[in-house]
Amino acid sequence: MSDDPLHSPRAINGRAPDVFRPGRWVSMKQYAEHEAVDFVIVGTGAGGATLACKLAEYGFTVVALDAGPYFRPLEDFASDESEQTKLYWTDDRIVDGDNPLQLGSNNSGKAVGGSTVHFAMVSLRFRPEWFKARTKLGYGADWPIDWREMWAYYTEVEQALKVSGPVNYPWGPPRPRYPYRAHPLNAAARALARGCEALGIGWTETPLATLSAPRGLAHPCVYRGFCVTGCSTNAKQSALVTWIPRALSAGAEIRDLAMVGRIETDANGLAVGVHYNRQNQWRFQKARNVVVAGYAIETPRLLLNSATDKFPDGLANRSGLVGKNLMAQANQAVWGEMDEEVRSYKGPPSLAITEHWNYEDEGKDFFGGYAYMSQGPLPQLWANTQATAHGLWGTRLVEAMKRYNHVVGLKIVGEMLPQESNRVTLADEVDQYGLRIPRVTYSWCDNDKRLIDHSVAFMSRALGAIGAKDLWVQEDDTCHLNGTARMGDRPDNSVVNADCRSWDIPNLWICDGSVFPTVGGANPSLTIQAIACRTADRIRGLSRVGEIRLN
Amino acid sequence: MLDRKAELHNAYPGYDVLAKWRSPSWNEKTREVIAARLQVPDEPQFLTLDEFEVLTAIADRIVPQPASRSPVPVAGLLDQKLRAGVMDGYRVVGLPGDGEAWRRGLGALNAEARARHDCGFAAVADGDQDDLLRRCEAGELNAPEWAGMPSQIFFKHRLLRDVVLAYYSHPTAWSEVGWGGPASPRGYVRLDFNDRDPWEAAEAMPGREVEARRINRNVR
């Protein structure tokens, strides 16, 4: 039991797991709780891990806390869907609204590395116009960041993750070559390509953060297909095997199984540290700056749970926007069967993509865009989809499952619009730490529904054009969560500024998908990491001119 | 679909994903996890015997199994999950925690069966069990035993999901659908249409069942 990462912290006694070598450790600097570090970071996913790494490399003292375990992928990860649910955030949460979100698997992570430990590795840049969606496209809200600045940070992240991708990307302004070559296509990806070619639109190999060539101690992808349940060979360039090892060697401390319950603020209204629970003890880490990077549900939950007399509506919430404008992304699919064997369980699930409807606005009766990708569900996920989305059970289910190897599907990542009524609030129930649990309210707006209708009609044509039979539409699915602490250019219309710094509390920062004003039709992880790299650069710049609290 | 059914009955004859147990497709952690799963008994540790009997009857209707092989202990696997307290990560409003939802739902389905058929759910004829489950799915059941839990929410988010996930967590079900199964570290090489690595199942195309069985017996 002593080495059960779910119950005993591993990052203790001056060392942390060496994720590349079974049984080995790397040394880790440790900081005293009563001495303020420059930055304490809550969460070690795409936002927190990236920022921890960059800030430590810039010479700041950093402690990053994560509620989840510190896994050793080579030893801890089974090729098994049930077992690997240990990567998900499965604490109690209540969902409601007209379209309640299904939380847990594809939109959460509870581990050092966050949900990047089980993400599908799809690493897309946003369409430049999305950063000025209100001004240029007429919907949502503008970002306070220029796309050209983001273009440079995207390049930095693509290099840091050795993203594999096509030689030429068909959409958007020029970008540098991807660091590693594209992966070969599996049959599911070829089906996407055939459909696009039949309908006369572009497609390409998906830029993926999984290795197509060796990198250090990590081997190239072996196409085992368990990507979204955790990579057991370290081909996946998750935060756990990229930013975190860099952060450790630059002097950051990681604390696993450390659940932050409250941010402490002083009489001046400044953050002074965080209360966190580790091994059933409430502890306190002093810090000159607090960064919240818990993703779109835990971030607002922590800010709301940290309310004081001075901040009765929660921290950083004078705008009243904390928790609001939660944006999932539409994740509808069209499924069918090919006469040929597809066996889509082999390889990363989304090897081919079309972003056509992200970049083409002609013929749309909705705002926003969507990408769609090839799919490779493993049997449990597929059976659950056939049951709960297709309504099959009994003999019909069992017989349909025997056609598993012939299934082909296309699935969107679709933009949903920000609405203040889609939000995270606190329920009255408490969790295992005694903290009030989140209530997540979600309803699609008419624009969301029109986007979905357009996408399923188009994907149905694409599958029909390649001879897929028995098509059916998976109507109710979502992925990725963003918003709830949006960035903006004014304190009254946003929670943080372009630097991810809260308007209300100058030493409180938010650095994760929560800050997105809009989500676009692209997976958010690359943008979250790019924002974190930018934030680190801004913090370094501000500190040089004395505009950051460092004493 | 009906004439296809006989043909599909055993789509991957002779294929057993467990034959790869000692192969490079199964790492140590996977063997440890699956060995534990194969030990799960078909008896209750969380539910009562009565509840377990109802659950077993439900599982037989949701994922019917052929009599020709040893059954996957669906109820036992689900009982173990409830005992471990593993949750999904969300609760639809109106649905209590997993264990409580199941206890209440099983009790309510039993009560609905008694009210209509004068016997418990497990003793009701197959067709009538299906009818009760369809009414549950449609939200038409509202005996006092539901205690405010909408039957259609229980059906979709608990009953159907949990039973299906339990069945397809078992190697027997993996072999049935011709999935490659655990694949670390070996993974796969042949990725294109109709491409099959030697360690993958061969499908029995019409008239070629014998060949498929011969290939599948040698899958390692």
Write the pLDDT tens digit of every residue in B105-163.
999 999 999 999 999 999 999 999 999 999 999 999 999 999 999 999 999 999 999 99
What is the rounded CA–CA span in Å between residue A204 and residue A183? 11
A90 near B CB under 8 A: yes
Quick one: pLDDT at residue A321? Answer: 98
Quick one: pLDDT at residue A551? Answer: 67
A222 near B CB under 8 A: yes
Residue B2 scores a pLDDT above 80: no
Cα Rg, chain A, nearest whole Å: 22
How is domain A15-544 classified at the architecture level of CATH?
Answer: 3-Layer(bba) Sandwich (3.50)
Chain A and chain B share a number of CB contacts under 8 A equal to 209
pLDDT digit of tens for each residue in chain A (551 aa)? 468 999 999 999 999 999 999 999 999 999 999 999 999 999 999 999 999 999 999 999 999 999 999 999 999 999 999 999 999 999 999 999 999 999 988 889 999 999 999 999 999 999 999 999 999 999 999 999 999 999 999 999 999 999 999 999 999 999 999 999 999 999 999 999 999 999 999 999 999 999 999 999 999 999 999 999 999 999 999 999 999 999 999 999 999 999 999 999 999 999 999 999 999 999 999 999 999 999 999 999 999 999 999 999 999 999 999 999 999 999 999 999 999 999 999 999 999 999 999 999 999 999 999 999 999 999 999 999 999 999 999 999 999 999 999 999 999 999 999 999 999 999 999 999 999 999 999 999 999 999 999 999 999 999 999 999 999 999 989 999 999 999 999 999 999 999 999 999 999 999 999 999 999 999 999 999 999 999 999 999 999 999 997 76
Give the residue extent of every domain in chain A: 15-544
Q: Please, which residues 188-217 of chain B have a Cβ atom closer than 8 Å to chain A? A: 188-196, 200-201, 203
Chain A residues within 8 A of B160 when measuring between CB atoms: 387-388, 393
Quick one: pLDDT at residue A476? Answer: 86
Q: Six-digit token pair at B16?
A: 């057993």
What is the rounded CA–CA span in Å between residue B149 and residue A359? 45
The minimal CB distance from B203 to the residues A100, A186, A405 is found for A405
Q: Do B186 and A224 make contact, defined as CB atoms within 8 angstroms?
A: yes
Residue located via tokens 């676009």: A520
**Segments in A433-522 forming alpha helices (H):** 446-465
Which of A72, A217, A226, A341 should one mutate to test binding to chain B, selecting the residue with the greatest count of B CBs within 10 A?
Answer: A341
pTM score > 0.90 for this model?
Answer: yes
Quick one: pLDDT at residue A394? Answer: 98
The percent of chain A in helix, strand and coil, each rounded to the nearest 5, is 30, 20, 50
Residue B166 scores a pLDDT above 60: yes
Q: Do B195 and A108 make contact, defined as CB atoms within 8 angstroms?
A: no
B15 near A CB under 8 A: no
Q: If 0-12 CB within 10 Å is exposed, 13-18 middle and 19+ buried, where does residue B72 land?
A: buried
- Phi, psi (degrees; rounded to nearest 5) at B60: -65, -30
Quick one: pLDDT at residue A426? Answer: 98
Chain B nearest-CA distance from A267, in A, is 37
Confidence of residue B95 (pLDDT cuts 50, 70, 90): very high
- Phi, psi (degrees; rounded to nearest 5) at A248: -65, -45
Residue B3 scores a pLDDT above 90: no
A80 near B CB under 8 A: yes
Q: Which residues does A263 contact at the CB level (< 8 Å), separation at least 6?
A: A271, A273, A274, A275, A290, A292, A302, A303, A306, A315, A508
Q: Which residues does A219 contact at the CB level (< 8 Å), separation at least 6?
A: A211, A233, A234, A235
